Copies of this chain bind each other. A is one copy, B any other.
Amino acid sequence: MKDEDINIWMIEDNSRYRKSLTTVINNTSGMFCSHSFPSCEDAFLVIENENLPDIILLDIGLPGMSGIEGIQKFRSYSADLPIIILTIHEDNDTVFDALCEGASGYLLKDSSQEKIVASIKEVLAGGAPLNMRIAHKVLKLFSRIKVKKSDYGLTTREKEILKLIVAGNTKQQVADKLFLSFHTVNTHLKNIYTKLHVNTIAGVVSKVYKEDLF
């Protein structure tokens, strides 16, 4: 163990898995596992007195605080700390939650030890190691994220006015900002309502957000 070696913390409640993986890491040149914890809470007790590690390997299904919640809390300490998830969970919701909270990589526990070591090196090189099946799932998640972008044939001016309305301006304020008569804005909004099939501000704002009209 040398000062330049990469310091890794592991948070994993299965003690056999934790010990065997710690051994692998400690036997790998250039890295060492200074701590391995069975829970996030344990890690946070130590974090107050020591420097943050260079990487965290984090399970999700943990006693007490889950790995997802753990990401949140680690992120309050450092936005850049690489956090590689190492878990059995591959359902969409868990993957999505972990990534949204800021996971830097996502491996499954059936990964070989070589793959895990390679992934540690990858995250150090600026990558984002993902299990192959997870990568596929991640890309599929984007299709679900895609907002249905609708087209109601709004004119340029109508969109301009709509943006200001959605931002909370009254008709008179919109008129003042665009150097128009109040009546002009009123007419445009009337036309917008007809095109969008709504008749209230609430309706129009909802539609803008739900259907990405800009």
* Shortest Cβ distance from residue A140 to the other chain B in the assembled complex, whole angstroms: 8
> Which residue in B132, B135, B170, B202 is a CB contact (below 8 Å) of A168?
B202
Closest to A103 in B: B139
CA of A102 to CA of B209, assembled, Å:
22
- Whether the pair A100, B202 counts as a contact (CB closer than 8 A) is no
A63 contacts B by Cβ under 8 Å: no
- Which of B100, B122, B133 is in CB contact (< 8 Å) with A142? B100
In the complex, whether A45 has a CB less than 8 A from a CB of chain B is: no
How far does the alpha carbon of A100 sit from the alpha carbon of B122 in the complex, in Å? Answer: 25
- Chain B positions within 8 Å of A127 at CB level: 132-133, 135-136
CB pair B138–A133 under 8 Å, yes or no, is no
Q: Is the CB of B102 within 8 A of A143?
A: yes
How many protomers of this protein does the assembly include?
A: 2
Would you give the 0/1 interface string for A191-212, flagging 1 where the beta carbon is closer than 8 Å to chain B?
0000000111111011001100
B133 touches A168 (CB 8 A): no
Q: Which residues does chain B contribute within 8 Å of A132, judged by CB atoms? A: 122, 125-128
Cα separation A167 to B169 with both chains bound (whole Å)? 20
A145 and B144 CA atoms in complex are apart in Å by: 12
A21 at the interface (CB under 8 A from B): no
A99 at the binding interface (Cβ < 8 Å): yes
Least distance between A91 CB and chain B CB atoms (Å): 16
A145 near B146 with CB under 8 A, answer: no
Q: Does any Cβ of B come within 8 Å of A108's Cβ?
A: no
CA distance A96 to B143 in the complex (A): 10
Residue A165 at the B interface, CB < 8 A?
Answer: yes
Query: For the complex, is A166 an interface residue (Cβ under 8 Å from B)?
Result: yes
* 5 cross-chain CB contacts under 8 A: A99-B143, A126-B133, A138-B138, A168-B199, A168-B200
Known: A128-B138, A170-B200, A202-B202. 11 other contacts (CB 8 A): A100-B143, A126-B136, A128-B139, A130-B135, A135-B135, A165-B202, A166-B206, A168-B200, A200-B201, A201-B201, A201-B205
